[in-house]
Copies of this chain bind each other. A is one copy, B any other.
């Protein structure tokens, strides 16, 4: 009944009451909470949806704080998903995006997975292309060949209501940055396997969709890995210790089987515990389509045996065995942000599993595959319709 008195004596700071303070009312300028620490470009794209009226015309606006109601669906129930897309300034000085259609289709699947509304994926493609063109004109100007601009389309539920229900309003926005801030220490990634009792995703869950909800809960394990001097967590699944993702990237190993075949192995999509990565698809597609073209399989002037691409559950024990038996050739993570990032060490239950890293002179599958992809995105190679010029 007398709240101020009953709490003042426990030594807590007194409340500031700004509800009658003109400076704090919502009709005066609102500063972003804790300021704009960001490397985003100065423009964003806004595309609003309302159940009653559908999708509005998309708008370019200055980059700045979004006014989101405290009871908004996105802040309470994580009705949110995103995509990562790069614009590449080719060696021919042209601008390209890579398999944008796949990103837009995945964003639709992600949106529906958290009750966000459907949209025309071709329309989203068009909006991203137009926004990307505007940003690239300024931030990726002619002459900056080999450079990239990173786009982050995001879809959030904006309905302000505490009932746990599908949002009736939502917003797709797109922001862009030159500095995604993704880097690894040393020559290759140092990975720490996830704790035995931790799972990033589960069959019947949503680990195959690019939802915000897949990332927040990985942060404590990720932070513990950083504190211990590693770059990323290698997420294992189940009692068998199946390898799923490295941080927020798909993971690949190259090994010789006991029968002597040379395989590229990555987790399959069957049980829905890994993200359906666009780079992942592309690596598998390239390895398969180049399988029988001997001329493709050389790097640094040296030939490499062609790889057989395999999607299946594979365990950390299989990697350990392959290393011990000298059959492990390479391992790498793949994704839009990191592109192709070789792994150097997997620390598992107190032991280092050392992945071979190619020397400057040797040929490398990671380097070869990275070059195949680079040649496509930077316009050196025919793109198989995977790129689209802006």
Contact = CB atoms under 8 A, between A and B. Distances in A.
Interface of A: 1, 3-4, 6-7, 10, 12-19, 24-34, 36-40, 42-45, 48, 50, 57-71, 73-80, 82, 94-95, 112-115, 122-123, 126-127, 129-130, 132-134, 150, 152, 154, 156-166, 169, 171, 173, 175, 177, 180-182, 197-199, 202-206, 211-220, 222-223, 226, 247-248, 389-390
A71 B179 CA distance: 13
Contacts of A217: 113-114, 205-206, 211, 213
A156 B70 CA distance: 10
B113 A33 contact: no
Given A31-B67, A36-B160, A67-B31, A216 B180 contact: no
Contacts of A36: 69, 160
A277 B159 CA distance: 26
Contact of A57 (B6, B15, B68): B15
Copies in the complex: 2
Nearest to A58: B15
B212 A10 contact: no
B175 A71 contact: yes
A212 B27 CA distance: 29
Q: Of residues A154, A215, A390, which shows the largest number of chain B Cβ atoms within 10 Å of its Cβ? A: A215
B64 A26 contact: yes
A71 B114 CA distance: 19
A197 B205 contact: no
Nearest to A202: B202
Contact of A29 (B15, B27, B94): B27
Contacts of A29: 26-29
A68 B38 CA distance: 12
A169 B10 contact: no
